Amino acid sequence: MTAVTYEKAQRLYPGSTTPAVDALDLEIRDGEFMVLVGPSGCGKSTSLRMLAGLEEVTSGSIRIGDRDVTHLPPKDRDIAMVFQNYALYPHMTVAENMAFALKMAGVGKEERAARVKEAAALLDLDAYLDRKPKALSGGQRQRVAMGRAIVRQPQVFCMDEPLSNLDAKLRVSTRTQIAALQQRLGITTVYVTHDQVEAMTMGDRVAVLKDGVLQQVDTPLALYDKP
Ligand code: ADP
Ligand code: ADP
């Protein structure tokens, strides 16, 4: 059971008078692709970063499954994060980049190789495993960044505008790939974007934020029908 539950989760930045995220109640179901959408500054990243443990929760709580993770450090949360700034280690090959976190976590060599191979197959990266990042296209690099997350087999994926560095055409093809991949892996995913089309095409459900307050949560289809 890897549902994610925010209960009255609030983030008040030090020195600020209004919460960046205010009493967020949101349940993300096991295996669901949930998109957080809204204009710049509405609190999407803060919500995601609280879940990943990168931002303190001022009050309220966050659970993964039935485990309260509100005050756990990031490394104890079993979450993999994909950012827009997906810097890869330039001196390592694609395979080494993908295996690095596993190595740090003490996963054995054979297991690392098997997981990298499996992720590479899913991401169409088999032919590039021995290359360095500088020899890859932007889309391929983004897939390596996804691969680094996948090999960890986390309970939850957190993605913060992972496509925003790609050109428009690549964004469209990559968003289809990410959605298909998530469906195949069935890993509970929270995906942040300011792009409404991205939200509507990728999400099982979409949570709309405004000024730190959750406005509505629904399927894309239901949201289309609402004013
Ligand atoms: P979004 O991801 O929707 O663009 P953010 O979560 O980044 O929104 O920001 C929400 C609000 O919190 C904004 O008003 C932003 O200025 C503020 N904020 C974000 N990070 C910090 C920070 N480190 N310190 C103070 N305020 C912040
Ligand atoms: P070294 O292997 O020389 O000790 P690191 O492995 O820490 O160095 O970093 C090597 C390169 O990878 C540096 O250019 C650094 O900027 C970059 N780097 C460091 N941390 C990260 C990270 N989390 N994600 C992507 N690139 C990183």
Q: Block means of pLDDT (10 residues each) for the chain, length 227 residues?
A: 94 96 98 97 97 97 97 93 83 96 93 95 94 92 91 93 87 88 92 95 97 97 81
CA dihedral 86, 44, 182, 218 (to 10 degrees): -160
Euclidean distance between CA atoms 181 and 177, whole angstroms? 6
Q: Output the ligand 2 site: residues, CB below 6 A.
A: 87-90
DSSP run (H or E) holding 165:
none
Contact between residue 132 and residue 91 where contact means Cβ atoms under 8 Å apart: yes
Whose alpha carbon is nearest atom 12 of ligand 2?
89
Q: How confident is the model at residue 227, as a pLDDT?
A: 61
Which of 194, 104, 198, 93 lies closest to 147 in space, CA to CA? Answer: 93
pLDDT score of 164: 85
Of the candidates 164, 138, 9, 141, which has an alpha carbon nearest to the alpha carbon of residue 71? Answer: 9
Q: Is 45 in the pocket of ligand 1 (CB under 6 A)?
A: yes
The ipTM (two decimal places) reads: 0.71
**Residue 214 three-state SS:** strand
pLDDT on residue 19: 97
DSSP assignment of 88-156 equals --TTS-HHHHHHHHHHHTT--HHHHHHHHHHHHHHHT-GGGTTS-GGGS-HHHHHHHHHHHHHTT--SE
Amino acid 1: pLDDT: 67
Tell me if 176 sits within 8 A of 143, measured CB to CB: no
Three-class secondary structure of residue 21 per DSSP: strand
Q: Is 81 in the pocket of ligand 1 (CB under 6 A)?
A: no
Quick check: helix, strand or coil at residue 46? helix
